[in-house]
Amino acid sequence: MSSYVYAAVRTPFGRFNGGLSGVRTDDLGAAVVSSVLARVPGLDPAAIGDIVWGNANGAGEDNRNVGRMAALLAGLPVSVPATTVNRLCGSSLDAVIMGSRAIETGDADIVLTGGVESMTRAPWVLPKPDRAFPVGDVTAVSTALGWRLVNPAMPKEWTVSLGEANEQLQERFGISRERQDEFAVRSHQLAHEAWEKGFYDDLVVPVDGTELTRDEGIRPGSTPESLAGLKPVFRKDGTITAGNASPLSDGASAVLLGSAAAADRIGTTPLARIAGRAAYALEPQSFGYAPVEAANAALARAGITWDQVGAVELNEAFAVQSLACVDAWPIDPEIVNQRGGAIALGHPLGASGGRLIGTLAKVLRESGQRWGVAGICIGVGQGLAVVLENEGDH
């Protein structure tokens, strides 16, 4: 049995303290649950066998199983179950993978997947003291991004910052600051062009009560010269800047999956078949390179090779890790992120995987290409990849 993508939507991705900062995480999730089901009005929501939802934080308003909260807030029947999964940046791609497996094993016929993150609203946390009434100050720790409350048993080289890990990747592969800045400029230009041409008009839905209608981080005026003027963030003599890395973001995405037999109940034909999937892991500080083998394994499971792939959606956590992955694959770099990537669009951690799937399915339909790959790097040394087969003409 195969599993298929039937519909996909996402919110615009807002910048940190930007246009979506006033919206609770569970409300962001509810917004895309409602919106994706509005695309299939003939589907009885009670027919959804499960909801699998991605979220990387879970420390604030996204606590207590935000997937279930989003479903209830969206008005779904209480009989529709839901779970929330956390594979950090890959959470909603993991949700798609898990939902597709449930369909292929016959555990469910229709699964709603997706994910959400409000990095703006991620709380500060205080660790509980080892003993009552300690003397001295206690530090509140931000949960917006990266390591926090690190176990001292972890080797120090594993727990470097995400930026430092990617500076190490830059040293390993010799990827220049100039290449990173040029890659970032391309992301902004392609994202702006895609919006201007209407590509995202039916993929992106506004959130009630907000005025944001487009991804907030796109800077169409970016040039290599303007980015060259930005100071490195993680090392004094480093190459990674705020201009060639993805920004802190808020947003949500949803992907409706089903079996072939579910088409009548859903009321539409599928967009793409999930043909292969894989996870891969290596040293935590090398996480940016993990999509390389994840994608290679997913292709092997789909029974195809790189020369058959017509489109790649690779999450741009950092320009340097994206370039390291693209350099490792035997592909034309121009097929990667043809409608812009996370450096421009934004990277709300738990929502990015769903964005990749929705974008890739549409790129394949518009281009007529048969095969596409979605890949994402994940903190603490992991990567995920999914292969889609276009169900339209190709």
As annotated, the active-site residues are 89, 347, 377
Tokens of 107: 């555990």
Tokens of 287: 């996480």
Buried b / exposed e over 327-337, threshold 16 CB at 10 Å, is: eebebeeebbb
Return the bridge partners of 4, or none.
Answer: 258, 273
Q: Give dist(CA 261, CA 89) in Å, integer.
A: 32
Q: Give dist(CA 56, CA 315) in Å, integer.
A: 15
Contact 104, 363 (CB under 8 A): no
Helix, strand or coil, per DSSP, at residue 54: strand
Nearest to 122 by CA among 58, 208, 193, 30: 58
Q: Give dist(CA 271, CA 385) in Å, integer.
A: 18
Contact 210, 118 (CB under 8 A): no
Q: Give dist(CA 389, CA 394) in Å, integer.
A: 10
Contact 34, 62 (CB under 8 A): no
Nearest to 274 by CA among 93, 54, 56: 93
CA angle 140, 142, 144 (to 5 degrees): 165
Q: Which amino acid is at 145?
A: L
Q: Give dist(CA 126, CA 131) in Å, integer.
A: 14
Q: Which amino acid is at 285?
A: Q
